[in-house]
């Protein structure tokens, strides 16, 4: 498969002002599109390139990254299919746009965070780290991947009616068992993002860049 044939996601690409450095791969929530997280990406790291695909699955007309049967009940076969497709897209886009594959950071919200977590667990070579806003465990891998020293930030709502705090803790444990370096930020509200979530993400990126 050629890189061009793998670019089957509708997407936006915003080049880095310097033409080099990190890339934030922005993954929207249910009902969003490739434009939703562009302002967030620019706010988190103004000098980064931004790659923002649109989910290929429609739920009553609303784009998603994989199918579900009900709230929190996922179609695992479709999750596997879409996880592979997204990983292929990111690899192909890295070639097309000349991105540094060692500096790809996923930034996902809700459904986008869940697909990012799935890619990290299923194809751990794709992302160098991730910021996962309101993620839950979509599946538990049969064998832990090697995520030694991969940095991950989970931000969760203490009163989130969709992603319960124990689900955040469970996902963090899955990552930690694979060797990842996991940080959790607790937002005092629910599923919506707060200014504190973005501040925590900005601080996390600063720390990641110092290590790099």
- Per-residue pLDDT band at 4 (split at 50, 70, 90): very low
| Residue-level pLDDT at 40 | 97
CATH code given to domain 3-211: 3.40.50.1820
| Spans of all domains in the chain | 3-211
- What percent of the chain is predicted at pLDDT more than 70? 97
Radius of gyration of the chain, Cα coordinates, nearest whole angstrom: 16
Do the beta carbons of residue 86 and residue 78 sit within 8 Å?
A: no
Predicted pLDDT of residue 6: 59
pLDDT value of position 48? 96
Q: What is the pLDDT of residue 5?
A: 43
Give the global pTM: 0.94
Q: Tokens 């977590």 identify what position? A: 117
Give the residue carrying structure tokens 């479709």: 78
| Predicted local distance difference test score (pLDDT) of residue 91 | 96
Query: Quick one: pLDDT band at residue 3, thresholds 50, 70, 90?
Result: very low
Question: What is the arithmetic mean of pLDDT over 177-181?
Answer: 96
For the cut 90, the answer to whether the pLDDT of residue 71 exceeds it is no
Residue 181: CB atoms within 10 A of its CB come to 16
Better pLDDT: 114 or 138: 114
Active site positions, annotated: 110, 160, 191
Share of the chain above pLDDT 90, in %: 84
| Separation CA 201–CA 207 (nearest Å) | 10
Provide the token pair at 212.
């790099």
Checking DSSP bridges between strand 62-64 and strand 57-59, what pairing results, if any? antiparallel
Residue with tokens 């890339």, as numbered in its chain: 23
Tens-digit pLDDT profile for residues 82-97? 999 999 999 999 999 9
């Amino acid at each position: 498969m050629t890189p061009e044939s793998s670019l089957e996601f509708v997407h936006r690409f915003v080049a880095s002002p310097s033409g080099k450095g990190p890339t934030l791969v922005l993954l929207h929530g249910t009902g969003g599109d490739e434009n939703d997280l562009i302002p967030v990406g620019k706010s988190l790291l103004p000098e980064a390139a931004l790659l923002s695909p649109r989910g290929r699955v429609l739920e009553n007309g609303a784009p998603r990254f994989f199918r579900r049967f009900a709230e929190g009940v996922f179609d695992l076969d479709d999750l596997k299919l879409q996880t592979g497709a997204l990983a292929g897209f990111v690899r192909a886009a890295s070639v097309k746009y000349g991105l540094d594959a060692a500096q790809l950071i996923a930034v996902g919200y809700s459904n986008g965070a869940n697909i990012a977590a799935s890619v990290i667990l299923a194809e751990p070579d794709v992302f160098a780290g991730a910021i996962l806003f309101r993620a839950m465990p979509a599946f538990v891998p049969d064998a832990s991947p090697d995520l030694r020293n991969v940095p991950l930030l989970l931000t969760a709502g203490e009163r989130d009616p969709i992603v319960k705090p124990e689900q955040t803790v469970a996902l963090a444990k899955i990552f930690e068992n694979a060797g990842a370096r996991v940080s959790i930020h607790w937002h005092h509200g629910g599923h919506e993002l707060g200014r504190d979530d973005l501040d925590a993400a900005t601080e996390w990126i600063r720390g990641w860049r110092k290590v790099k």
